Structure 1
Amino acid sequence: MAYVPGVALLAALVVGCSAGDDSNANGADSKAGSPTVTPAPPGKYLTLPAPCRAVPRPTLKDLLPGAAELPGDQQEKVLRGAAAVTYDTDRKVGCSWKSDAPNATRSLSVDFERVVSYDPAVSDDDRADTVYAKKEKAAGLSSSATPGPDAEKGTPTAEEKDKKGGKEKTEEKTEEKGAGKSEGPAGDDASASPDPSASGGTDGSTSGSSSSGSPEDALPSRILDDLGDAAFLQDLPTRAGSTAQRHTVSVVFRTSNVVVTVRYAEQPALIAQTPDSRELQEKAQALARKLAETLSE
């Protein structure tokens, strides 16, 4: 009889544990109110390509006229490229090339940046999109705007809209003052009509755009479609008043958590010569698409 209370106590403990198991089985959770954090998915890319081997040799010879005519050792040095200085090759790498031809100097650079988010609530892709968006904004572009019929010409800023509105009002007043008057000399007609070159039209002749084609052939900075997850092209013509006719085109695109920048430039040997903006843009875009395909493999 001295052991009965102990047996009863043991039985009570067994019943209590069984009751606790039943409550868990029925869905009762003592920590039901605690939040559950699901880590954001990692980016697709865990490494970066070797930048100086990212561009095929045939492509380099096409982008760098004059390199193919160099002696073996010099040609190899040009095509090998120069790696960018970086302290974390897992996060950022780059390479640049330069070739001097009798009529012009061409230069090319490629940069890869792998973005990693250290916030468990933000994915690597979202963080990379933020990095890309800053570059896009710095270029004066915005992919959030709804493209219209003139989307290829770029999205005008608020300041440009104000200037355009003021210009239209001035032209309306000029037309009103000239209403009912007979046509004057040809010189007067030319001064009354807006001059695309004077206002920095699509050919950008006064703003330094060095396109050798007609105004409709020169394409300005713009958002690009069908290149990675997001992309834009920035055309950087020579500044007005500059004696050097250097023309640079940059193509920036994002694919998953990697942001790639391609810069392609031409410096003519003679000041009177002007680079072909359309050619630079087409070749820079073609290279960017090749890099995007390589990353996707």
Structure 2
Amino acid sequence: MAYVPGTALLAALVVGCSADTGTGGSAADSKPGGTTATTAAPGKYRTLLDACRAVPSAALKDLLPGAAELPEDQQKKVYRGTAAVTYDTDRRVGCRWKAETPGTSHALFIDFERVVSYDPSVSDDDRAREVYTKKQTAAGLPSSAPTPGSTKNQAPPPSGSALPGSPPAESASTAGGTASNSSTDTGTSTDTDTDTDTDTDGNGDADSDESLLPRTLDGLGDNAFLNDRLVRAGSAAQNRTVSVVFRTSNVIVTIEYTEQPAVPTAVPDSKELQDRARSLARKLVEKFAE
């Protein structure tokens, strides 16, 4: 019989034990039925665009027609915009623009919010979807979250019926945009106060065309909705604010576009404001996709 030194025998035993682990996984990992903790995927966006530089100059000229009548130095100041106050530019940024003429004034506000989930089991996208849904519900629109037997976008209510949740108490944006509390919505009002009235001629009132009512939008980010509010208060000048809110991954974008004529009897054109706001929204979607 050959003699095996003690150290050699110990080395052989160690090698044998190591070989029993197969692919190198730990014994705990290889137990049948073992579970491994998973962390939800982070959102697509880790930073935000510079809000005051996000709107192309050509779009600003279209949205703020009064600026073209100003001296060049004042034009530059208007187009530069004013950044919203924020304490974390990686989480939220915004910008405001305003241009006035003797006949009317236009104001634009945009807000970018990057949503982060601090729950490792909930993704940033899912948390952003929750935040977006709350904004949509606050605007008086049904949730776009898929449910059995439902469709993504629901048809607007028939003419003559009250808008869902009308009127909203405040702007769709929580960042303090240009629009203040509204006395009435663009749809048929349920308010009997004689100081507020939404019945106007066909060209100025969204109520005359169901396609212009507040609604969810297709083909704009992951989710989107539009709100349209006409504010009238006695004999004071009235204004119309069109808001477009959309979500792209874990970022929520809010656009508020307001027109206020100097003449109290003048009514801002709903279709024109909606077309401009939606056009800007499409441009911002492209910006985030770059």
Give me the TM-score of the superposition, normalised by structure 2. Answer: 0.76
Change (3 A) 1:73 1:217: farther
Tell me, yes or no, if the aligned pair for 2:163 and 2:188 is still in contact at 8 Å.
no
Change (3 A) 1:209 1:284: farther
1:280 paired to 2:273: yes
Shift of 1:7: 3.5
CA distance in 2, matches of 1:96, 1:217: 30
Pair member with larger Rg: 1
Change (3 A) 1:261 1:242: farther
Q: Secondary structure at the match of 2:212?
A: coil
Residues 1-297 of structure 1 mapped to structure 2, 5 A cutoff? 7-8=5-6, 10=7, 13-25=10-22, 29-32=26-29, 35-141=35-141, 142-144=143-145, 146-147=150-151, 151-153=155-157, 206-207=197-198, 212=204, 215-216=208-209, 219-239=212-232, 241=234, 243-297=236-290
RMSD across aligned C-alpha pairs, in angstroms?
A: 3.3
Shift of 1:197: 6.2
CA distance in 2, matches of 1:149, 1:85: 34
Shift of 1:207: 4.2
Q: Where does structure 1 lack aligned partners over 5 or more consecutive residues? A: 161-195
Change (3 A) 1:121 1:61: same
Q: Secondary structure at the match of 2:21?
A: helix
Shift of 1:90: 1.2
Shift of 1:35: 3.2
Change (3 A) 1:242 1:37: farther
CA distance in 2, matches of 1:209, 1:20: 87
Tell me, yes or no, if the aligned pair for 2:44 and 2:249 is still in contact at 8 Å.
yes
Q: Where does structure 2 lack aligned partners over 5 or more consecutive residues? A: 167-186
Shift of 1:121: 2.1
The sequence identity of aligned pairs, in percent, is 51
CA distance in 1, matches of 2:25, 2:77: 71
CA distance in 2, matches of 1:74, 1:110: 21
Give me the TM-score of the superposition, normalised by structure 1. Answer: 0.74
Change (3 A) 1:158 1:224: closer
**Is 217-226 or 283-292 further displaced after alignment?**
217-226
CA distance in 2, matches of 1:53, 1:221: 28
Q: Which structure has greater helix proportion?
A: 1
In structure 2, give the amino acid aligned to 1:45: Y
